[in-house]
Structure 1
Amino acid sequence: MLINGLTIRPGEQVLTRLVISRLPSGTVIDVPVHVYRSEKPGPTVLLMAGMHGDEVNGIETIRRLIRRDLLHPLRGSIIAIPILNIYGFLNFSREVPDGKDVNRSFPGHPRGSLASRVAHRFMREIMPLVDCGIDFHTGGAARSNFPQVRCQLGSPDGDALAQAFGAPFTLHSSLRPGSLREAAFKQGKSIIVYEAGESLRLDEAGIDTAIAGTFRVLHHLGMVPEAAPPAQPTIVCLRHTWLRAKFAGLFRSHVQNGQYLEKGQTYGSVADPYGEQAVRLESPVAGYIIGLNHMPVVNQGDALLHVGLVDEAEAARLARNPPFNEKPGSPEELEEIEIE
């Protein structure tokens, strides 16, 4: 295996650093890459986080796996990259300094924008070695994601990886232009995305789920001897939608992430900041809450809830027996103002 001009032989464990560029001060920016190789042949699995520098849950997941010395495959190799976007990490930002998103810049170009150069270096040095992988992400803009895997369902490899991971939810997610998943797909490789928590805030439950799911994937590939089964089967959502604010004001949620939401159920309210009126919000769909906005000040069109949709038969069954048993108390009585 050749990375960064360094030959890594079977049975070796190596840390190398990909030099990306320099800050205006002259400080070198490099990306640490941990490589763990077994003496036995097998697949090469990518574990990567920090595509967006403010998404710390994935960074912490891989940090713990490295720190606890847990990445020693029985066969094959593991490439672990805790932070790809060093610029964003230093600036608590999703983007690189030129304002572009690395995950919309693949496959990149050696003479393109900064984000494009980061993507190009990854595609040149890492992607040719990878068979499959997990890309760890976190909700952004004060939105928290319930632990979930996103992939393009229908491909045998992607389906198998998602099923092996065993997150509480598995979402069918189409390939986005310029994303790592799309670039990998074009090369016949499967990358699943794990999402949990919100930016710049550690989510212990989401991190624990990430570590357990990673071990289940590695066990599925024959790279670790055992892995704990998930607490319950993953719930597959072939469709999902955002419920958005129709009115500007102060948003208060009356539901919890992961909860089953019935059609017509009140899930929150939007009120003006002067105490003159409040509007009760009712869900037009039935499904699971897989993403929740925590920003109280909202404008028209802001995303409030991300809902994973289910069919009518499943909706009826779940209404009788909510899977996560997270039914908050009835919301307080609000003055309901009809606004067309």
Structure 2
Amino acid sequence: MRKPFTFEGVDVEPGTAVRVPVKFGLDPLGRQLEIPVHILHGIEDGPILGITSTIHGDELNGVTIIRHLLHGMDLNPGTEDDLVTPETLSGTLIVVPVCNPEAVIIHSRRSSDGRDLNRCFPGSRTGTHSSRLAHTIFHRIVTRCDYLIDLHTAPSERTNAPHVRANCDDSKSKELARAFGTPIVLHSIGPAGSLRRCSTKEGIHSVLLEAGTANVFESGAITAGVRGIMNILVHLKMIQGTMRKPDWRLIVRTSQWIRSPRGGMLHPLIQVGELVVEGQPIAQISNPLSGEVEEIQSPLCGVAVGLATTPLLRAGEPVANIASVNNKKMRERIRDSPMTGWKFEDVAETLEDIAEDADGLPIDEQPED
């Protein structure tokens, strides 16, 4: 008989699921602050996989990804469409749908003390509010895991095509990224102080999903997240099933943020995930007072991984993040199976290529604004 999984003093028996509140202090009104953690302890032995969401409080797609993962499309627990149950699970799931509760309540990317929680890991017991929260998440939750999936979206003024970020120099993390199944994988060790970077350094093989934008639920991003997590569960032999692969995969080592040459109003001419060619107009910048219009052209052939969505721009602000596609066969494959209409499918073989742009930078070295 498999042993119970002990978490925060609670023994979770094999084949059961338990919600455990992790307490980490008081708010300014003296009310208890806590992080809700769902533990699914499988019948059979297997790895421990952690899934985290809302490190940034306005990145809400991850909350619903987790809800669908645990409770199916009807969102109700204990019904026939539940995707993952402890009775059919090998190993243990540690799931944190809301890592930063106060930030979620105030619709904020940053924590209630104004800091970016994803620059505060591994945290400190005696530091700022965000540092103490990071310490709680990392040392009391994440370090219990063998693997980690961290769910994110773009900030509110941008949107991202669904893609996975991982340290591709760490073989296990790269395997996870491939298994997730998105056509685009960005090589990234993660910014200093990020949860994924600290986790990988600790030997917890980690990937991060970027999909969609902030403060909304987006069906495409949610579907990508649910299907990708199911792929990883199959890859880790935690559930039975078939992994669905993309028709093509681009592992991006460097990319370019195309920036606005002037201030004005942004009029995008492409969709996120679209394949563009060198010289193709990707946006127009108009002067709302004079009527002048300036066209922005792509300096390379590639896929638009991210796009700005805010209409108002200053000179130098980002318009589009383009990952280069220099391989002719890959360009043809992307045209035949464009990411703008992408969905998980069963394919016999995935065409894979590496995107390295001599004029680009790794994502970790690009300015965040």
Match of 2:216 in 1: 201
Pick aligned residue for 2:321 from 295, 298, 306 = 306
In structure 2, relative to structure 1, the CA distance for the partners of 1:29 and 1:314 (3 Å cut) is farther
Match of 1:12 in 2: 16
Instruction: Indicate the percent of aligned positions where both proteins have the same amino acid.
Output: 29
Pick aligned residue for 2:125 from 97, 110, 120 = 110
Match of 2:349 in 1: none
How far the C-alpha of 1:317 sits from its partner, in A, is: 3.8
Question: How far, CA to CA, are the matches of 1:8 and 1:122 in structure 2?
Answer: 19
Say if 2:172 is the partner of 1:172.
Answer: no
How far the C-alpha of 1:39 sits from its partner, in A, is: 2.4
Question: How far, CA to CA, are the matches of 1:214 and 1:50 in structure 2?
Answer: 16
Say if 2:268 is the partner of 1:253.
Answer: yes
Provide the secondary structure at the position in 1 that maps to 2:238. coil
Native 8 Å contact 1:43 1:76 kept in 2 = yes
Question: How far, CA to CA, are the matches of 2:313 and 2:281 in structure 1?
Answer: 18
Say if 2:155 is the partner of 1:140.
Answer: yes
How far the C-alpha of 1:275 sits from its partner, in A, is: 3.5
Q: What number of residue pairs does the alignment pair up?
A: 326
Match of 1:51 in 2: 55
Question: How far, CA to CA, are the matches of 1:272 and 1:211 in structure 2?
Answer: 42
In structure 2, relative to structure 1, the CA distance for the partners of 1:9 and 1:61 (3 Å cut) is same
How far the C-alpha of 1:174 sits from its partner, in A, is: 2.8
How far the C-alpha of 1:57 sits from its partner, in A, is: 0.5
Native 8 Å contact 1:260 1:322 kept in 2 = no
Pick aligned residue for 2:83 from 64, 70, 85 = 70
In structure 2, relative to structure 1, the CA distance for the partners of 1:315 and 1:198 (3 Å cut) is farther
Provide the secondary structure at the position in 2 that maps to 1:30. strand
Match of 2:234 in 1: 219
Question: How far, CA to CA, are the matches of 1:326 and 1:6 in structure 2?
Answer: 45
- Residue by residue over 1:156-205, the C-alpha shift from the partner in whole angstroms, topping out at 9 and shown as x without a partner, is 10111111110121111133110111111221111100011100111101
Native 8 Å contact 1:259 1:322 kept in 2 = no
Question: How far, CA to CA, are the matches of 1:167 and 1:101 in structure 2?
Answer: 27
Say if 2:142 is the partner of 1:149.
Answer: no
Say if 2:15 is the partner of 1:32.
Answer: no
Provide the secondary structure at the position in 2 that maps to 1:103. helix
Q: Which runs of 5+ in 1 are unaligned?
A: 328-340
Provide the secondary structure at the position in 1 that maps to 2:149. strand
Say if 2:83 is the partner of 1:79.
Answer: no
Match of 2:338 in 1: 324
Pick aligned residue for 2:64 from 60, 67, 82 = 60
Provide the secondary structure at the position in 2 that maps to 1:76. strand
In structure 2, relative to structure 1, the CA distance for the partners of 1:298 and 1:59 (3 Å cut) is same
Native 8 Å contact 1:56 1:201 kept in 2 = yes
How far the C-alpha of 1:318 sits from its partner, in A, is: 4.1
How far the C-alpha of 1:322 sits from its partner, in A, is: 5.8
Provide the secondary structure at the position in 2 that maps to 1:177. coil
The AA in structure 1 aligned to 2:83 is L
How far the C-alpha of 1:12 sits from its partner, in A, is: 2.9
Match of 1:334 in 2: none
Native 8 Å contact 2:248 2:333 kept in 1 = no
Match of 1:159 in 2: 174
Native 8 Å contact 1:238 1:309 kept in 2 = no
Native 8 Å contact 2:21 2:37 kept in 1 = yes
Q: Which runs of 5+ in 2 are unaligned?
A: 73-81, 342-369
Question: How far, CA to CA, are the matches of 2:143 and 2:291 in structure 1?
Answer: 60
How far the C-alpha of 1:224 sits from its partner, in A, is: 1.1
Native 8 Å contact 1:52 1:94 kept in 2 = yes
Coordinate RMSD, CA, aligned: 2.0
* Runs of 4+ with deviation above 4 angstroms: none
The AA in structure 2 aligned to 1:307 is I
Match of 1:291 in 2: 306
